[in-house]
Structure 1
Amino acid sequence: MLKDKVAIVTGSVRGIGKEIAMLYAENGAKVVINYPMHSMGQEAKAVVEEIEEKGGSAVAICADISNFEESKALIDKTINHFGKLDILVNNAGITRDMLLLRMTEEEFDQVIAVNLKGVFNCTKHATKVMLKTGGSVINMASVVGLAGNVGQCNYAASKAGIIGFTKSAAREFGQKNIRINAIAPGFIVSEMTNVLPDAVKEATTSNIPMKRYGSMKDVANTALFLASDLATYITGETIRVDGGMAM
């Protein structure tokens, strides 16, 4: 579905980002594995090797996407290595959960810097390149950005911001053959959810019509669809992958 396409997936050393990168590679894309710190270099190299062992093509590039210049360098290095850019997945994100009255300014600023400003940074630099060829930008939002959540004012604000950013950017680039969409995952099986007490899991699944958590593959499949030619008339959309939780 993505034969000969070039894709950057930010924050793709583990979790949903890695799942998307692996699926893109399986579908013919050349993938940039992005990671924020040099200390994660070996982990990123392992993902590249895993892709190459399966016959795919990938390269690892270190860049802190909350930094404007490092984000530009990420795009520039991708062009230097692969010659073009077709797909950008703004997946990188962090949490600093705390009740509002206890949340520090630093905890708020850190989340906004990575989750929201990082999307601005990468999208701004990537779309300059895509103006010549067209492309697809996929932003990772969250159902928390739609419904809110206790202890996540910073995270919810960043994800709600991503949804607004996605709609505005989609309007700006619609005539330029650049599609910009968002995915809003709900509860997804991950390292974080695996350690939740059974009582918490039962309480959260009771609010999900499908009565189960989703998988990272569910999110990756949606990212594959939005990046592919099956979605050429879809832009400015936020697709919930949440089992119906935020209806």
Structure 2
Amino acid sequence: MARFSDKVAIITGSSNGIGQATAVLLASEGAKVTITGRNSDRLEETKKLLLNAHVPENHINVVIGDITQDTVQETLIKTTLDKFGKIDILINNAGAGIPDPQGKTGVNQSIDTYHKTFELNVQSVLEMTQKARPHLAKSQGEIVNISSIGAGPAAQVANPYYSIAKAALDQYTRTAAIDLVAENIRVNSVSPGAVATGFSNVSRGLNEEKSKKLYDYLASQKECIPRGFCAGPEDIAKVIAFLADRNASNYIIGQTIVADGGTSLILGAHAHGAKMIEAVFK
């Protein structure tokens, strides 16, 4: 029997990147999935990938819309229940580093940018969790939030609002896990490092070619990604699937699994290497 047979999953932000890869992975292993995003063309591409993976069309529910809108959240819950009858898994993946409209960085970013960043990366997760909670209680289900190593403890000077939003999400994950475990709902999260997706195109304003150059550069620098390569969306999807699989991760609650190729383990001094540092004293 496939790992997610008879499971129903909602994956937010599934029109590309990590969300798209997660939808394909879960559905290819038996899950019925609700996919959602703002871009109808990209969401259609996700549906095509699902069909190409031999996922039956009646196992796919598509909702186009902005996850920060209450009506879209309600539609996600209602259409999933109408089509599949239950909800077993909620993957809160939708998120982004929203660029400041005036190009400001650091502490000079506008407060409006702060509000929009928190609305997407934190508030929408709180709202979806509240709306899905009674249905997940019935199914004794799973919630997986997608955070980021940007949450800390290292400073993130260029885009602080995204970082503090993800730090807030990590604390929410811990709190929600203890609150909801009494209803046999497990809550955990994944914190990716650099992942080769369209994320940089949005948050840094890079085109596809420049985005690829960025990821290739990071992968080539041992102080950036010690593992030596930049993760693909599928690499993170596998970690998400592990946390969504109760048989595999039943005793894990309120934890954040870091999947960053070692990035968050590196200190500034490590980039110079022990021999280089020792040479100073010779």
* Alignment TM-score > 0.5, same fold: yes
- Distance in 1 (CA, whole Å) between partners of 2:155 and 2:10 is 29
Q: Alignment partner of 1:132: what SS?
A: helix
Q: Which residue of structure 2 aligns with residue 179 of structure 1?
A: 186
Q: Which residue of structure 1 aligns with residue 97 of structure 2?
A: 95
Q: Which residue of structure 2 aligns with residue 54 of structure 1?
A: 53
Match among 258, 267, 271 for residue 240 of structure 1: 258
Q: Alignment partner of 2:214: what SS?
A: coil
- Distance in 2 (CA, whole Å) between partners of 1:26 and 1:232 is 22
- Distance in 1 (CA, whole Å) between partners of 2:217 and 2:238 is 29
- Distance in 2 (CA, whole Å) between partners of 1:211 and 1:11 is 27
Q: CA deviation at 1:118?
A: 1.0
More divergent stretch after superposition (72-81 vs 62-71): 62-71
- Distance in 2 (CA, whole Å) between partners of 1:35 and 1:160 is 23
Equivalent position amino acid for 1:45 in 2: E
More divergent stretch after superposition (68-77 vs 220-229): 68-77
Going from structure 1 to structure 2, the CA distance change for 1:167 and 1:101 (only over 3 Å counts) comes to closer
Q: Alignment partner of 1:34: what SS?
A: strand
- Distance in 2 (CA, whole Å) between partners of 1:199 and 1:234 is 35
Q: CA deviation at 1:233?
A: 1.4
- Match runs of 1:56-71 below 5 Å: 56=55, 57-71=59-73
More divergent stretch after superposition (142-151 vs 110-119): 142-151
- Distance in 1 (CA, whole Å) between partners of 2:117 and 2:41 is 25
Q: CA deviation at 1:26?
A: 0.9
Q: Name stretches of at least 5 consecutive residues in structure 1 with no aligned partner.
A: none
Q: CA deviation at 1:196?
A: 1.9
Equivalent position amino acid for 1:141 in 2: S
Q: Alignment partner of 1:59: what SS?
A: strand
TM-score by length of 2: 0.80
1:179·1:235 contact (CA, 8 Å) conserved in 2? yes
1:72·1:121 contact (CA, 8 Å) conserved in 2? no
- Distance in 2 (CA, whole Å) between partners of 1:217 and 1:199 is 20
Identity across matched positions, percent: 30
Q: CA deviation at 1:70?
A: 2.5
Equivalent position amino acid for 1:51 in 2: L
Going from structure 1 to structure 2, the CA distance change for 1:198 and 1:230 (only over 3 Å counts) comes to closer
- Distance in 2 (CA, whole Å) between partners of 1:61 and 1:70 is 8
TM-score by length of 1: 0.91
Going from structure 1 to structure 2, the CA distance change for 1:245 and 1:173 (only over 3 Å counts) comes to same
Q: Which residue of structure 1 aligns with residue 238 of structure 2?
A: 221
- Distance in 2 (CA, whole Å) between partners of 1:197 and 1:16 is 15
Q: Which residue of structure 2 aligns with residue 209 of structure 1?
A: 226
Q: Alignment partner of 1:239: what SS?
A: strand
Larger radius of gyration: 2
Is 1:188 equivalent to 2:187 in the alignment? no
Paired residues in the alignment total 243
Task: Report the RMSD for the aligned CA atoms in angstroms.
Answer: 1.8
Equivalent position amino acid for 1:225 in 2: F
- Distance in 2 (CA, whole Å) between partners of 1:138 and 1:198 is 29
Match among 136, 144, 147 for residue 138 of structure 1: 144
- Distance in 1 (CA, whole Å) between partners of 2:84 and 2:166 is 30
- Distance in 1 (CA, whole Å) between partners of 2:151 and 2:175 is 16
List per-residue Cα deviations over 1:106-156 (Å, max 9, x = no partner): 211111110111111111111121111210100000000123312111100
Equivalent position amino acid for 2:244 in 1: A
